[in-house]
Amino acid sequence: MMKKFVVSLFLGWISFYASSAFSTDSGKRAETTEISAACETGMSGSRNFYRLPEEQDVRRQSLPTKQNTMMDTKKIGIAIIAPGGYVPDSSLEKGIDSLKSMGYRVFNYYDPEKRYQRFSATDEERVQQIVQAVSNPRVQIVMALRGGYGTTRLLPYLDFDGLAKSGKLFVGHSDFTVFQMALLKKGGISFAGPMVNSDFVGKELGRFTIDHFEACMTSPEVFLEWFSRNNPDVNVEGVLWGGNLTMLAHLAGTPWMPDISGGILFVEDVHEQPYRVERMLLQLDEAGILGKQKALVLGHFTEFKETDYDNGYDFEAMLVWLRSRLTIPVLTGLPFGHVRDKVTLPVGGRARLVSREGKTQLYLSGYPTVW
């Protein structure tokens, strides 16, 4: 007997449809979780959101009368670390309460009273947060509190060989990308996904984000599908890796940048105008990084302001030029970034990327789970 889980979310510009299957005969989840999305371009006030024109999703799925919980969280421990910036006390409390209400056992290693300058604590204290979280046998998932800046300062003092072998599932994005890259260089797989302050603090939690996070934590395979009108036809396989574009460009040429060949690189960013995005991608290309990949996949680039000086040089114009310059296919529409609704992606997992006639599919496997 199979139980099916379906989520449908309508957000004006973006619609998501998610389904997951569970197996009850052996007490285990089914092997795959399926997500599909349709993305488009929109604008909200002075904030620009880069997405592609919408195409109709032909698979309209009905909602069950009662939603199922993605996983039994009662015995799963989540450790909160703050390797970068700090948050207000109220945000920390809300985040902890949200995780507890979902059934997680929460172990908080961030002390608001230890704030130092623009960081959550001194460099040494932030290193110790990570060490203590990893040393706790009751912790399965280590989640970043927020991004900001500061994780780079910790890299020389962390034992990434030991962290890669710890068995912990590290989750976060933004500034946390540098930790994930250093971990990947040592063979450790982590997850580009939600953070406490970004995704577990709002009045209404992002159900899509949470459901996909929990599915990825428990399902050894995930299938993701979205629609972007102008994506080139592609059928490639390789290691999935990437994250925040600013952080990736920041690490280029440093000892912390992994040397990935034949991979599928995904990127996203926030507050970065199109010309800055182009500049950072050119940096990665000139550094010999992009040319080694089988494909480049763009997620969301949000909250940037166009000016009169741009004179029509918007994201679409940048994308046209970029595709003419690079030797690898460039795809868009990945539902990931500094947005409310995002997927969770295994950084270092195996991926197969298939795109045909505007429909893009991403098959993910080869990553650890909590079970």
Known catalytic residues?
Answer: 174, 268, 338
- Give 326's contacts (C-beta < 8 A, 6+ positions apart): 281, 285, 290, 296
Q: Is 82 helix (H, G, I), strand (E, B) or coil?
A: coil
SS3 333: coil
Looking at this protein, which amino acid is placed at residue 328?
A: I
Residue 96: CB atoms within 10 Å: 20
Secondary element (H or E) of residue 297:
strand 295-304
**Contact in structure between 143 and 196 (CB atoms under 8 Å):** yes
For residue 116, the 8-state DSSP code is: B
- Collapse the DSSP code of 120 into the 3-class scheme (helix H, G, I; strand E, B; otherwise coil) and give the result: coil
Residue found by looking up tokens 């197969």 in the block? 352
Phi, psi of 304 (to 5 degrees): -115, 155
CA dist 89 → 113, 114, 145, 204, 316 (Å): 9, 12, 12, 19, 40
Q: How many other C-beta atoms lie within 10 A of the C-beta of residue 270?
A: 18
List all residues 6 or more positions away from 75 whose beta carbon is below 8 Å from its beta carbon: 105
Element (H, E) at 92: helix 89-101
d(CA 77, CA 29): 19
Residue labelled with tokens 């609704």: 341
Strands (E), 98-208: 105-108, 141-144, 169-172, 190-192
User: Residue 229: is it exposed, middle or buried by C-beta count within 10 angstroms (0-12/13-18/19+)?
Assistant: middle
